[in-house]
Structure 1
Amino acid sequence: MGNLRGHVVYGAGFTLIGIWHLINHSKLHTLNPTSYTAPTWFPTSPIKFLELYFIMSASTAAAFMDLSIGLRRHHPFSPDGTIPSSHLHSFEHSIIALSLFAYALFTLLLEKTPQSPATARRGLSNAAAAVALAVELLVFHLHSADRTGVEGQYHLLLQAVIAASLAAAALSGAGCDRSLAVAYVKSVGIFFQGVWLVVMGFMLWTPRLVFLGCFMNWENGSSFVVRCEGEEALMRARSLVNIQFCLLLVGVNVVALLIYMIVFKIYSNKNVSNDFRVFGGMEMEILDK
């Protein structure tokens, strides 16, 4: 993930999942507001587990990119079998991909065990999602890359978004899965993570977008790091990062609310039972029992 391509790929994945969840939570709540229960994932037709397959395949590709394609020798180890310091960030990023893969795989296995109670499957899936988000938060908090400069400010703000998503996932798993607000915070958090990662990629690895008074410096023989010429330039850059974050947060929230309003307008006057059966998949089977 330590380059423009990596951040954009990771960010695009989070953005797609976040928007997908926003649309489906809005639709599910609109069609059946009184018995709404937020699922951890949403089935599709004709491939029911497409979302989980997407997460697993994207995580695998991301880990492969971090540990092979993105490295100069196309493998993460030194000739003596040790891990070079310059490759530590690749392992850290791949751990995030591994945690997401584990969540999707565990959820898939749960759903293929229909004899287990639906509430148990949903609760355990939420727990797995919370663990994946906790791993992501821990990795970024203890990141071996620059944590004091401009990149560090981007990572600090990213941690706040991950923490909000983690809190929402924990609340959902603890019995608040009937709250649309909790589901929306989680979905918006995932959506915003994706947007913020894409912005990070462009702002930190595009020379024309580097803040005034800062420059891209090649370090550790592995990647560029944005450095600033002095304390004043660094403080200015951090302030601009904060402004970016706040503006994007407002923008993402507006998009999320617009998604709800549009979906509500489309489905509010439709036949609840028929539309919900077409959409519901897994959740409709639960409600029918």
Structure 2
Amino acid sequence: MGSFPGHVLPGTLFLLVGVWHVWSCIVRYVSNPKSFRVRAWNPVPGFDGRLKYLELYVIAVGGFIDLCVEFLYATHLQIVVHGVLNPSHMNNFEHSGMLLMFFIFGVITLLSEKTSFLPLPEGALCLIASAAFTAEYLLFYFHSTTHKGLEGYYHLILVLLIGLCVLSIIAGALLPTSFPLDLCSGIAITLQGLWFYQTAFTLYGPMMPDGCLLKGDEITCDSTEQEIYGELLANFQLFGLVLGVLVAVVGAYIYAEPKFGHSNLNNSQIPEDG
């Protein structure tokens, strides 16, 4: 069983990274489509380079803070009981392992970009990122087998979104010039962050469907019909989020193309007379 902060914290991290990835992907493409390359991370321009690695610091520091919350705060430092991991906090230990992978990705990428100790190509960084999402996928896939009913359905949708992240990032590493794949990975990460928020507000907040109630560590519904209604509501929420993100992406492209677009692109494609 999760909690409202337990979903909002990682949701915020994924949402920030996803939105930034989408925007950066669009700007890089409209600026020069011919030289476009898939990136595992996107530097922040301007500010004399002082914020260049901000995304990586957000991933590493944000992942580390969330890791500490899950591993130290949520367990009340009762990590080992009678010589074994505290069985009442296995959920927190699983989440900690997932967050550790994203922290490792952030640290490795920083080392690769800022030092000469670990120079890695962009494709390798993409595969490391996909490994972090794969760890998250495996966690929630097997972890979700313990979730039942409405809670299980929301986590099933989350697993599907994580799987989309994994596939799009791996495909981007294999096809490093594909704008659609890079954009798809950013959209998938954004949707994952939004779905964390949606899950928090629905299962642990004010948007609980009628006839369903959070009792202790379980979400129960008065009848099967109420549970089905909750699942249909989840489908509608997912559709609304997907539609909203796609509209925002199209709007961002329309805004970015005249502002950052290569002014000579069309002219270079027109053959000269004679």
TM-score of the superposition, structure 1-length normalised?
A: 0.84
Number of equivalenced pairs: 261
Q: Which of 227, 236, 247 is matched with 1:234 structurally?
A: 227
Provide the rounded CA distance (Å) in 2 between the counterparts of 1:38 and 1:144. Answer: 32
Is residue 2:88 matched to residue 1:86? yes
Match of 2:137 in 1: 137
Is residue 2:55 matched to residue 1:56? no
Q: Cα distance, 1:134 vs. partner?
A: 0.6
Letter in 2 for 1:127: L
Match of 2:156 in 1: 156
Letter in 2 for 1:105: V
Letter in 2 for 1:204: L
Select between 106-115 and 186-195 the one with higher mean Cα deviation.
Answer: 106-115
Provide the rounded CA distance (Å) in 1 between the counterparts of 2:229 and 2:184. Answer: 30
Letter in 2 for 1:198: Y
Provide the rounded CA distance (Å) in 2 between the counterparts of 1:238 and 1:56. Answer: 34
Give the alignment of 1:1-289 within 5 angstroms: 2-44=2-44, 45-71=49-75, 74-114=76-116, 121-143=121-143, 146-174=146-174, 176-206=175-205, 208-219=206-217, 225-268=218-261
SS at match of 1:227: strand
Provide the rounded CA distance (Å) in 2 between the counterparts of 1:227 and 1:132. Answer: 32
Letter in 2 for 1:240: L
Provide the rounded CA distance (Å) in 1 between the counterparts of 2:62 and 2:134. Answer: 19
Q: Deviations over 1:201-226 (max 9, x none)?
A: 111112x321111111103xxxxx32
Letter in 2 for 1:214: C
Provide the rounded CA distance (Å) in 2 between the counterparts of 1:264 and 1:248. Answer: 24
SS at match of 2:42: coil
Select between 82-91 and 14-23 the one with higher mean Cα deviation.
Answer: 82-91
Contact 1:89–1:145 (CA<8 Å) still a contact in 2?
Answer: no
Match of 2:272 in 1: none
Provide the rounded CA distance (Å) in 1 between the counterparts of 2:65 and 2:264. Answer: 41
Contiguous gaps of at least 5 residues in structure 1? 220-224, 273-289
Letter in 1 for 2:203: L
CA-based RMSD of the aligned residues comes to 2.1
SS at match of 2:220: strand
Q: Cα distance, 1:11 vs. partner?
A: 0.6
Provide the rounded CA distance (Å) in 2 between the counterparts of 1:41 and 1:113. Answer: 16
Contact 2:144–2:152 (CA<8 Å) still a contact in 1?
Answer: no
Provide the rounded CA distance (Å) in 2 between the counterparts of 1:250 and 1:38. Answer: 24
Q: Cα distance, 1:87 vs. partner?
A: 1.1
CA separation of 1:145/1:61 partners in 2, compared to 1, >3 Å: closer, same or farther? Answer: farther
Provide the rounded CA distance (Å) in 1 between the counterparts of 2:204 and 2:24. Answer: 34
Provide the rounded CA distance (Å) in 1 between the counterparts of 2:2 and 2:264. Answer: 48
Select between 25-34 and 75-84 the one with higher mean Cα deviation.
Answer: 75-84
Q: Cα distance, 1:145 vs. partner?
A: 7.1
Provide the rounded CA distance (Å) in 1 between the counterparts of 2:210 and 2:248. Answer: 30
Provide the rounded CA distance (Å) in 2 between the counterparts of 1:184 and 1:91. Answer: 32
Provide the rounded CA distance (Å) in 1 between the counterparts of 2:109 and 2:258. Answer: 32
**Structure 1 residue ranges (4+ consecutive) displaced by more than 6 angstroms after TM superposition:** none
Contact 2:30–2:262 (CA<8 Å) still a contact in 1?
Answer: no
Contact 1:129–1:169 (CA<8 Å) still a contact in 2?
Answer: yes
Q: Deviations over 1:235-289 (max 9, x none)?
A: 11111111111221111121122122212232126699xxxxxxxxxxxxxxxxx
Q: Deviations over 1:64-95 (max 9, x none)?
A: 11122234xx1242542433333111111111
Provide the rounded CA distance (Å) in 1 between the counterparts of 2:101 and 2:18. Answer: 17
Contiguous gaps of at least 5 residues in structure 2? 266-274
Contact 2:38–2:173 (CA<8 Å) still a contact in 1?
Answer: no
